[in-house]
Structure formats: structure tokens, C-alpha cells
Amino acid sequence: MNPPDTPTAGAGTDPPDYQELFRQFKGQEGELISILVRVQETFGYISEESVRQISQFLRLSENQIFGVASFFSKFRFDEPGRKSIKVCMGTACHVHGGGFLSDTLGWQLGITVGQSTKDKRFDFQRVNCLGCCALAPVVQINEKIHARTMVTQLKEILQNRE
């Protein structure tokens, strides 16, 4: 029942096995986005190697695959940090001060949204609505949602997950 792990969890543990992953697909162009989603879930990001593999599987050009993947902001092309931090930037969270959380986190981690820390410990993303707007503002660290988060709780939340 648990949602599949976020990118950070499985990254770099097993050797990439694309054939295994492609087995659930028929090899049609219309499956491209689903395949990209699976690849990102498995490897944490879309690498050049992934694009090459998908290109062979679907018989589409690498450019075409990269073009589609880069259209959607959810796909990333660099290796994510180990702890995924997602600050909700949905409307409910915005009016409850989500912007303060994201600004302060950026300051504390020394990076801006979309980056990961140099030591690859933290990965910092913004997302649009995590579906629990009644608990706004929310921050998600790996799978755990922190509800009604205050700026002054951020440090502790980050340390908790070390």
C-alpha cells in the first residue's frame, strides 16, 4: 500500500537493469512517459544512459526522449541528494506561509530550490500540492509529511532525519 519509494531511496544500490524494467511495457511510443516515471523511480533520475536505453527500446531518437522528459518539471537529469526535502508550494500552503519555509530551508542548506547539497546529503525541491492542504503548510522529508510546519521547527525536522 505504501507509495513507491521516492527517487532518493533506491538510488545507486542495485546495478541498473533496464530489461527488467522494460518488461512491463509493450514498446509503444505512448508508453514513454510511464517509462520515464518508472526509470526515475528506480534510478532516482533520468541519466544519459537511461535515455540511450529508452531510445533503443522504443526506437525513438534520444533527442525526442530528452525533449519529452524536459517538458515535465518532475523529471530530473542529475543525481538527487539522499534525503529528499519537498516543500509544498500549493495554494493552500502558500497562503499559510509555505514561502517562508522554502526561503528559510534554502538559507539553512545553502542551496536554492532544485539543487542538492554538495555532499549529496539533502535534496531540495518544491512541489505543487501534496494532497493534504488541510494540514498546510506542509514539508515532506522522504516519505514523512510534516504538517502545520513552523519556520522555527525546520532545524529540528532536518536533524531528526539524520
Partner 1 sequence: MNNFPAIQAAARQQWARLEASPVPVIYVGAATCGLAAGAGDVLHAIRQTLTERQVEARVVPVGCIGPCYLEPLMDVRLPNHPRITYANVDPARARRILERLLLHGDPSPDLAFAHFGANGDPLTAGLPRFFDTPMLRHQVRLVLRNCGFIDPEDIEHYLANEGYAGLNQALGMTPEDVIGLVKEAGLRGRGGAGFPTWRKWQICRGAAGTPKYVICNCSEGDPGAFMNRALIEGDPHAVLEGLLIAGFAIGASHGYIYINSDYHLAIARLRTAIAQMTAHGLLGEGVLGTDFSFGITLKEGGGAFVCGEETALIASCEGRRGMPRSRPPFPAIAGLNGRPTIINNVETLGTLPHLLRNGAAWYRQFGVEGNYGTKTFSLVGKVRRPGLIEVPLGIRLRQIVFDIGGGSWKRFKAVQTGGPSGGCLSEEFLDLPVAYEAMAEAGSIMGSGGMIVVDEDTCAVDLALYFLRFTQAESCGKCSPCRVGTWHMVRLLEDLAAGRAQPEDLAKLQNLAETVKRASLCGLGQTAPNPVLTTLRHFRTEYLQHAKERHCAAAACKELVEYRIDPARCNGCQRCIEVCPTHAIAGARSEAHRIDLALCIKCKACYEVCRYDQLAGNAVIFESRRSQQ
HSE-CB at 87 with a 13 A cutoff on CA atoms is 28
- Residues that bind ligand FES (rule: CB under 6 A) add up to a total of 12
Residue 135 lies near partner 1 (rule: CB under 8 A): yes
Looking at 15, 23, 30, 162, which residue binds partner 1 (CB under 8 A)? 30
- Report in angstroms how near the CB of residue 85 gets to partner 1 at its nearest: 16
Residue 160 lies near ligand FES (rule: CB under 6 A): no
Site residues (CB under 6 A) for ligand FES, limited to 83-142:
88, 90-93, 129-133, 136, 138
Given the rule CB under 8 A, which of 13-21, 63-71, 76-84, 115-123 is the region that contacts partner 1?
63-71
Look at residues 132, 87, 133, 95 and name the one whose alpha carbon lies nearest to residue 112: 87
Q: Residue 77 and residue 135: Cα distance in Å, rounded?
A: 31
Q: Are 120 and 66 in contact (CB under 8 A)?
A: no
Beta bridge partner(s), residue 88: 127
Q: Which residues of 136-152 are buried (b: 16+ CB within 10 A; e: fewer)?
A: bbbbbbeeeebeebeee
Q: Which is nearer to partner 1, 15 or 105 (CB)?
A: 105
**Contact map string, positions 71 to 110, toward partner 1, x by CB under 8 A:** xxxxx-------------xxxxxxxxx--x--xx--xx--
At 139, list the grid cell: 514539508
Size of the chain, expressed as the number of residues it contains: 162
Alpha helices in 17-61 (DSSP H): 18-22, 32-43, 48-58
Looking at 51, 87, 138, 158, which residue binds partner 1 (CB under 8 A)? 138
| Interface residue list for ligand FES (CB under 6 A) | 88, 90-93, 129-133, 136, 138
| Interface residue list for partner 1 (CB under 8 A) | 1, 3-4, 28-34, 36-37, 58, 60, 67-68, 71-75, 89-97, 100, 103-104, 107-108, 127-136, 138, 145, 147, 150-152
